Chain A
Amino acid sequence: MTIPVDWTVAGPATVVMVGALVALIVDAFYHRRTWLGSGLPSTVALLAAIAELVRQDATGAPFAFSLVVLLGTLFVVVASNVMNFENAMPPGEYHFLLMSAAAGALLMVSARDVVTLVVALELLSLPSIALVGLRQGDRAAIRSAWTFFLASVVSTAITLMGVSLLYGVAGTLEYAGLREALVDPDVPESVVSVAVVLTVVGLLFKLGAVPFHAWVPDAYGGTSVMVAGFLSAVSKAAALGALLVLLAEALPEAHDAWGPVVAVVAAVTMTIGNLGALRQDDAVGLLAWSSIAQAGFMLAPAVAVSGPYGLSAPLQYVAVYALANLVAFAALAVVLRLRGSTRLTDLRGMARNDPWMGIPLVLAALTLAGFPPAVIGLVTKFVVIRPVVLDDHVWLAVVMGVNVMLGLAYYLRVVVTLCGRADGEPYVSPSPPISVRFAKSTVLIGSATLVVLSAWPDLLLSHLP
């Protein structure tokens, strides 16, 4: 039996996987167990994978999603240096798991048949679960990992059931084959509807969409901040990419079955996410709930995935979202390390007394809210509403508008808290170790990118397909 392997697709994922193994081996033989020891091979592997991806000269949505995944992971790896000398976090295992999950994310967006998709989904999920519970001696983290694990298993089981039904009616699991098979009028429509909806469930779970969102705040809150950043940016981008490609390539004929489901899930997801975020007093919890709401915004244009902007709109949105979220999480990781708290009341006045971390946080919040001067956030909001309007889902567009407002209510609360006058003594940052500076540098580079994109949104919109 020969298994055809398309190396243009598998190349970057293989490079990342090799990087994961090297990171693990280095950790085994290098006794000081510093963060740099296993971080270096991971960084090199990610850069090599990016080079490999770009060298192949590929275009289209999978390429762009892969790029988002790789750049996001690189950001996480460099920013994770903030955890150096935290004894509870083993660097070797951390990098191994992170890189494995990244490889899963890469395969997921390039998958062209459903079995590969499910395998890639598991390759992303299982290391992610381990990452959440990795901190040694932390019972809350273990509990979060368990919740995550159970939710993941259940959703995978449902997806597998949908996949088997799909195989039953179509006789193939390749995207191209499915697409042709579903045109056949003899295929029972009711079975197809059930099969499609069940298949989509697993991806909605990774995306953190309602009603599979309950693990998100739990996992983000229980784990270390950079792992939450990885889950919110990279894992979410991969799930979105896989879902969009699946809907556009394999299931366009079943649009009647999944269209209303996607629209309703998007509307409910953004509303519940925003309502949850309104009640948060901790910055990480707030970002966790807001990432649920953002998932709804990414999902909404999927109703018009076959239209002219169906793939590019969510892609551009998720790229900006991922960058802003990573900046926010990295800044919060630094803050947590140096101040020991990410509660909003403890962050008051940060933009004044610690501008190098406070202003990037402000910028990230404004981008996520879609509020000038972070023009790029506003432009991507415009971009995701456009296909929805074009496809005549006026109610969904109005729900999105209302949710933009709900989102502004808490993002602007973060902004005014950060910019407000500090109570009491201004905070004086102690001289941080070099590893924290690595994390700070990622925050600054990320915010600089956001500023450049805000000044010139065309840079992103014209060049990301």
Chain B
Amino acid sequence: MIVVALAVPFAVGVLLMLARRFVPSRVAAWAGAGAMTVTLVLYALVWEGSEGVSGRVDAPWIEPLGARLQLGVTAVSWPFALMTAFVGLLCCLWLVADDAAPALVGLVLVISASALGVFSSLDALLLFVFFELALIPMWFVIALWGTGDARRAATRFLLFTVTGSALLLVGIVMAAVRGGSLELIDIRPDAVAIVLITLGFAVKTPIVPLHTWLPDAHSAAPTVGSVLLASVFLKLGTYGLLVFVEPSAEVGVVAPYLAVAGALGIVWSALACYGQDDLKRLIAYSSIGHMGFVVLAISTRSDVGHAAAVFGSVAHGVVTGLLFFAAGAMKDRFGTTSMTGIGRGLYGRTPWLAATFVLAAVATLGLPGLAGFWGEVLSLRAAYDVGIVLSRPVAWTGLGLALLGIALTTAYVVRAVRLLAQGEQAHTDADRDLDVREAVVMGALVVAVVVLGLAPQLLLDVVAPLTVWAAP
């Protein structure tokens, strides 16, 4: 089932790229949406329960290396996979009316399928192959369909990421050689390997100070590119930390650095956001803060932290996806994402768009009742409980910084809402409210944000306690 779920978007994506001259763009987008629907449904059906692996596929691959074609979803990866398929589907729908090139739809499909492959791999080498597979398509999405100095931003993104993945490769080889297994469930990196693997995923997550590729790439990319980068690509980093680093007995080597860097990221990103005029850059910086909460949670290596990390990642995926779609909708109308350029008073000018944006914005600051809240509060709880690897001063330093960060986050979110939604209406000719496809895409995400916020148990029940993963 998982094989089909992966093969369909890959095949449709490659076909669309090859036949880009012969397919009308609407047909391409609908075909992409159809493929992603199939994938989403299959992933939803494959679930068998939190214990063990669902939908396992196991075939010989490279015997001399001990690598096998092992696919399946676990309690950790299934929420990530569902979120990815969902966001990929919405991206295709977004492209329906967008006169988008069929090749762009194809690239979106290939990127989504590669990310799904990462989440479904039970073999470290296979995971690495999928991890790398998405990079070049993403370069093209940013460089060819982006705005501003897109080529430069795309190249910087690519170079940063491949630096991380080169270290990751060495780390995986080291873990495989010393641990004798490439299976994710058995792989136990030693101290050196875990530093390399952590560095590799830290670039992707990103963890301060390895984040400098992110703002440029997110703001230069086209709307679907930004959404995929934020909702899916960053999750590859946190997912990697969750499966490689968190269960390892050697996590103590990196945990204090992760905790402090994550907490610093929260504060730093909030400060950077406050100075932004460009809406997409602001959202990009806010992602660093959200990832900071996830990293802080992971570093505690506790059940609460584990749940917080998974919840925070998925919630960030839907909330930030919604924000980037809203920003994209504004860009389509006003031709800019500068907040002063868009002008004030969106409540009166485009009420539905403004309401959606404000809902996403308050979700991003962690308003109770919306998705962003649970990830943050559980993360703070995990840091307060200290966990088993951190020392109390380190954990509580992280906690203090994170609390400070939350206060600062509120400040920049309120500023953005004030600059855009409220105030005297600066009418322009471009004021149009949401059209159908925007309403459908954003509506779906709003529903997800609210459901996750009101019924967090839906997701938390899926996430098994950490002990399932971390064998003694």
Which of A's residues lie within 8 Å of B, judged by CB?
371-373, 375, 378-379, 381-383, 385-386, 389-390, 394, 397-398, 400-405, 408-409, 412, 415-416, 419-421, 457-458, 461-462
Contact = CB atoms under 8 A, between A and B. Distances in A.
Given A372-B129, A373-B133, A401-B196, A408 B139 contact: no
A402 B65 contact: no
Interface string B129-141: 1101100100110
A390 B177 contact: yes
Interface string B168-187: 01101110111000000000
Contacts of B393: none
A401 B169 CA distance: 7
B128 A397 contact: no
Interface stretch (B71-79, B157-165, B426-434, B458-466): B157-165
B65 A409 contact: no
Interface stretch (B56-64, B290-298, B329-337): B56-64
B192 interface: yes
Closest 8 CB pairs of A and B: A401-B170, A405-B166, A404-B166, A408-B162, A461-B64, A372-B133, A385-B173, A401-B166
25 contacts: A371-B136, A375-B129, A378-B132, A381-B169, A382-B125, A382-B173, A385-B170, A386-B177, A389-B173, A394-B174, A398-B167, A398-B170, A400-B170, A403-B166, A405-B162, A405-B165, A405-B166, A408-B162, A409-B159, A412-B136, A412-B162, A416-B143, A419-B140, A420-B144, A458-B64
Given A382-B125, A398-B196, A389 B174 contact: yes
Nearest to A421: B144
Given A394-B192, A419-B140, 14 more contacts: A378-B132, A378-B169, A385-B170, A386-B176, A389-B174, A394-B174, A397-B174, A398-B167, A402-B166, A405-B163, A408-B166, A416-B136, A420-B144, A462-B63
Contacts of A405: 162-163, 165-167
A382 B192 contact: no
Given A382-B173, A408-B162, A401 B167 contact: yes
| Most chain A beta carbons < 10 A, residue from B61, B63, B144, B174 | B174
A461 B129 contact: no
B178 A382 contact: no
A439 to B, nearest CB: 25
Interface of B: 60-65, 125, 128-130, 132-133, 136, 139-140, 143-144, 158-159, 162-163, 165-167, 169-170, 172-174, 176-178, 192, 196
A432 B178 CA distance: 54
A386 B132 contact: no
Nearest to B192: A394
Contacts, number: 92
A458 B169 contact: no
Given A389-B173, A389-B174, A383 B65 contact: yes
Contact of B61 (A390, A394, A421, A458): A458
Contacts of A458: 60-64
A397 B140 contact: no
A372 B163 CA distance: 15
A385 B65 contact: no
B62 A461 contact: yes
A421 B144 CA distance: 9
A397 B173 CA distance: 9
Most buried by B among A390, A415, A458: A458
B339 to A, nearest CB: 32
Nearest to B159: A409
A408 B63 CA distance: 27
A389 B177 contact: yes
A383 B172 CA distance: 12
Contacts of B166: 401-405, 408
A457 B125 CA distance: 12
A404 B133 CA distance: 16
B178 to A, nearest CB: 7
Nearest to A416: B139
A99 B136 CA distance: 41
Contacts of A397: 170, 173-174
Contacts of A409: 159, 162
Contacts of B163: 405
A120 B199 CA distance: 47
B431 to A, nearest CB: 35
Given A379-B65, A416-B139, A416-B143, A404 B169 contact: yes
Contacts of A401: 166-167, 169-170, 196
Nearest to B133: A372
A403 B62 CA distance: 24
Contact of B65 (A373, A382, A403): A382
A163 B416 CA distance: 76
A412 B158 contact: yes
B162 A378 contact: no
B64 A462 contact: yes
Nearest to B171: A401
A405 B164 CA distance: 8
Contacts of B65: 379, 382-383, 386, 461
B61 to A, nearest CB: 7
B132 A457 contact: no
A400 B125 CA distance: 17
B223 to A, nearest CB: 21
B196 A382 contact: no
B422 to A, nearest CB: 43
B457 to A, nearest CB: 38
Contacts of B176: 386
Nearest to B128: A378
Nearest to A413: B155
Contacts of B130: 372
A186 B158 CA distance: 57
A193 B166 CA distance: 35
A394 B167 CA distance: 12
Nearest to A376: B62
B179 to A, nearest CB: 11
Contacts of A404: 166, 169-170
B192 A372 contact: no
B159 A378 contact: no
A100 to B, nearest CB: 36
Contacts of A403: 166
A415 B196 CA distance: 27
B253 to A, nearest CB: 14
